[in-house]
Amino acid sequence: MQIGIDIGGTNTDAVLMADGKVLATYKSPTTASVGEGVHKAISQVLASAGVSTEVVTRVVLGTTHFTNAVVQRQGLDQVCAIRLGALASRAFPPFSVWPDDLAAAAHGSSAILKGGVNFDGSPITALDETKLRTAADRAVDAGFTSVALTSIFAPLSRDNEQTARDIMAAQQSSLTFTLSSDIGNLGVLERENATILNACLTRMAVDVVASIEAALASLGIACPFFFSQNDGTLMSAEFAARFPVRTFASGPTNSIRGAGFLAGVQDALVVDIGGTTTDVGALRRGYPRESANTTELAGLRTNFRMPDLVSIGIGGGSLVAEIGGGAANSNAAATSNAGIHVTVGPRSVGRLLTEQALVFGGATLTATDIAVAAGLLDAGNPNAVAHLPRILIEQALAVIKRDVERAVDAMRVSSDDLPVILVGGGAPLVGLDAFHGQPVIRPDHGHVANAVGSAVAHAGGESDRIYNLDKMSREEAVSLAEAEAREQCVRAGGEPGQVEIVELDALPLTYLPGQSVRIRVKAAGPPAA
């Protein structure tokens, strides 16, 4: 049996599955402690199913813990950032395009040193070993433990970064390293940003993994546990401790994968209505469609893989306000007329929904209250919203429908008649007659689709490199890329010998001299026992 857990900003969801069937589900407000939340979620689903811990063969977690740390600028380590590429890139040093508050939290030291490669793989300049050793000494003396190494054109050749790491590690063995060639792709500044983000989270990642290990041990669970990646696959706990940035946006990708699994479709548009936001993504061949553009996280441009998403501030905890007709967020009976204007979101009560919403005894009008008043959702005390004017309810639902439909339209890339899958705890907020007549599916257990996506995920690996076809054939380049993707999948926790190639794209780079091609390969396979 597998347990999938998704720790969101509002709720923690869990599911117990066996043979592709959901045996038990759990949803509760997220706790401050990751370990405490995991312990509670597992205990509840096992108790609901009436089974013991011995039957659990795998635990998979999706978490927003690391994303929230970056967004809130909390718990980040200061990093020594080294860029290999002098003199070519001194105009924009590391941290130069960072928001001031994020830079203050993460910037320990930085330097641009000799090294890097040209577009054809030839060295720009030789590595300066003396300065690399000096940088290692200075980092340790200043109390920094994490180093982010970025080389110009690292997707073409990672040798520069690996050699620099070996030199610095030999000088100071206490340092940990993040290499940009393991994180991002083309675009040195965006790749460097993503690399630094990973470096400033690695110590936190080790602590989170340790807390989950302790929670599982206290329950008597000895099976492997994994983390969800942001491409809809999973990775081992050890791998996650090294690459916490790969958990960014894992919640939406879990929902997309889980929605497709529950609905029994491989291609669809997925609408996940949570407690705070609605995320709209695309399911393609069973996996979330990835963004082809640079992505912005907490005000910082990055280029590591992320799902292609449209997010809006509408969820079950969204505040509902009546503009021009008086306050709508009180228990007092409200009068209304056709001239009122109703807003929904983007502010939300978040994880305090069960304390502050009207139906739960609070004094704040939320989208959940609207759904209960409309008879779309059975939750809390319906009498607490019986006073709400019909026009207020209708207009609030109309606003929700309009905004969600616009988000779905923005996610379309063709006129294909794809079904729309509605999941998440807030799915009842949107009727099955929405989306301009497109087929709409609201599957069973859709309120925990994110946890289902975790439970059914396979291990994943990816290769995203530039190859010079003047030096090898296209077939040789593809073979090398496939081999690397398979290796990455096994490193992430996949079962050797059962890894398959699930996606392959080859893009000729016409702006580079010669026959350069960017080959991206994705591999997936069942996790090792």
Q: How do the domains of the chain map onto residue ranges?
A: 77-200, 458-525
Q: Which of 265, 263, 244, 264 is nearest to 199 (CA)?
A: 244
Say how many Å lie between the first and final Cα of the chain, rounded: 12
CA angle (453 as vertex; 457, 415 as ends), nearest 5? 105
Query: What pLDDT score does 302 carry?
Result: 85
Cα 217–chain centre separation: 26
| R_g over Cα of the chain | 24
pLDDT-flagged residues of the chain (< 50): 325-337
Predicted pLDDT of residue 20 = 87
What integer pLDDT is reported at residue 336 of this predicted model?
42
pTM of the model: 0.81
Provide the pLDDT for residue 340: 67
Beta bridge partners of 464: 520
Alpha-carbon dihedral sign for residues 103, 105, 106, 108: positive
Q: Which two tokens stand for residue 440?
A: 């709409």
- Report whether 252 contacts 62 (CB < 8 A): no
Contacts 24+ apart (CB under 8 A), 102-107: 102/70, 102/73, 102/298, 102/299, 102/300, 104/73, 105/73, 105/74, 105/76, 105/78, 105/200, 106/76, 106/77, 106/78, 106/79, 106/196, 106/197, 106/200, 107/78, 107/79, 107/81
* CA–CA distance, 9 with 278 (Å, rounded to integer): 13
Determine which helix (DSSP H) or strand (DSSP E) holds 504, and give its type and residue range: strand 500-508
What span, in angstroms and rounded, lies between the C-alpha atoms of 311 and 270?
12
Q: What is the pLDDT of residue 331?
A: 36
- What residues have CB less than 8 Å from 383, skipping those under 6 apart? none
What class has domain 77-200? alpha beta
